[in-house]
Amino acid sequence: MNATVALTGATGFIGKHIAEHLLAAGFIVRALTRSPEKSADRRLAWVHGSLESSDSLRELVRGADSVVHCAGRVRGQSQAAFMTSNVTGSTRLLEMAKENSCCKRFLFISSLAARHPHLSWYAHSKYVAEQRLTAEKGPLALGIFRPTAVYGPGDKELQPLFRWLLRGLLLRLGQPQTQLSFLHVCDLAHAVIRWLQHHDAAAGPYELCDGLPGGYSWPRLREIGAAVRHGPVRLVGIPLPVLRLLAHLSQALQRISRKEPMLTQSKIGELTHPDWSASNQLLSERIDWAPTIRLEQALRDELF
């Protein structure tokens, strides 16, 4: 019989791709959803509920051999909100997985940000979640993935940066000397499948990126943009005071629109951090995975 995976976050950007890859690899997928309108795909067995509800999480993991925990709060106004979703929600799901005797593996989609927990509420919450899951995993084989900035079809965060790059304008949000890294969502989904299928589900944490040694500098990104569009690219730095002002405006707008802001004063810590380079070495050695899509190719082939 095919193995069953309980997946959270399947209504979001990355989770949708993981669900597609799981189905293509022959897994049966049980998926958590908070919104009926986002869960029309009948190939998945949807379980209604959220990370806040033990009952729905118990139902989600029923009969599952593995859990892929991809749901997470990526925007928000307070440390408490990040902790509730990313820490308490994750440990609640782990508890339910431990109660279920079929369940052997638990993969947590953390973030490269967890490498620097002091930078933002988000980074801190992912780091604390990793620590708590590691301490409380019991007999489960726990895996922790720390993907860098992920892009691909359905992404809304990086897509504007790349669209503008291909129109000839690169907006530099961080410091001039920052090293960045990126990962195509299909490569991340492949890594999830490899980890689930590999006989040795060692924990990590594992960094994941597209494998360009040393990562991307802003001038390198400009060069890539220019090569792909066959034309010049202007690199324009956004000064820190302007970034701070934009964060104030975004937080004020949130109070009117009631939408969670991505750009907050807390997020600026991440944006201005100088080193977001990453290494696949550990994961590649453990599960024989390697990324296949470099950013330049993705921009040329419009894989985003």
Ligand X SMILES: NC(=O)c1ccc[n+]([C@@H]2O[C@H](COP(=O)([O-])OP(=O)(O)OC[C@H]3O[C@@H](n4cnc5c(N)ncnc54)[C@H](OP(=O)(O)O)[C@@H]3O)[C@@H](O)[C@H]2O)c1
173 touching ligand X, by CB under 6 A: no
CA distance 85 to 97: 17
32 touching ligand X, by CB under 6 A: yes
Q: How many helices (H) and strands (E) does the chain have?
A: 12, 11
Interface stretch with ligand X, choices 6-14, 128-136, 214-222, 247-255 (CB under 6 A): 6-14
Q: Candidates 5, 7, 15, 254: give the one binding ligand X (CB under 6 A).
A: 15
CB nearer to ligand X: give 38 or 167. Answer: 38
225 touching ligand X, by CB under 6 A: no
CA distance 34 to 11: 8
- The torsion angle over the Cα atoms of residues 199, 205, 211 and 216, rounded to 10 degrees, is 170
Min. distance of Cβ 134 from ligand X in angstroms?
A: 17
CA distance 150 to 261: 19
298 touching ligand X, by CB under 6 A: no
CB nearer to ligand X: give 171 or 262. Answer: 262
Q: Candidates 14, 29, 224, 299: give the one binding ligand X (CB under 6 A).
A: 14
Burial class of residue 36, CB neighbours in 10 A (0-12, 13-18, 19+): exposed
Q: Candidates 5, 9, 57, 178: give the one binding ligand X (CB under 6 A).
A: 9
CB nearer to ligand X: give 71 or 189. Answer: 71
Per-residue tokens: 201:
């589900």
How many of the chain's residues bind ligand X (CB under 6 A)? 26
Question: Which residues sit opposite 46 in a β-bridge?
Answer: 31
Residue nearest ligand X, CB atom distance: 12
43 touching ligand X, by CB under 6 A: no
Per-residue x/- mask for ligand X, residues 119 to 148, rule CB under 6 A? ----------------------------x-
Site for ligand X in 47-106 (CB under 6 A): 50-52, 70-74, 85, 89
Question: Which residues sit opposite 64 in a β-bridge?
Answer: none
266 touching ligand X, by CB under 6 A: no
* Cβ proximity of 207 and 277 under 8 Å: no
CA distance 226 to 220: 10
Nearest to 129 by CA among 83, 97, 95, 67: 83
Chain residues binding ligand X by CB under 6 A are: 8-9, 11-15, 32, 34-35, 38, 50-52, 70-74, 85, 89, 109, 111, 147, 149-150
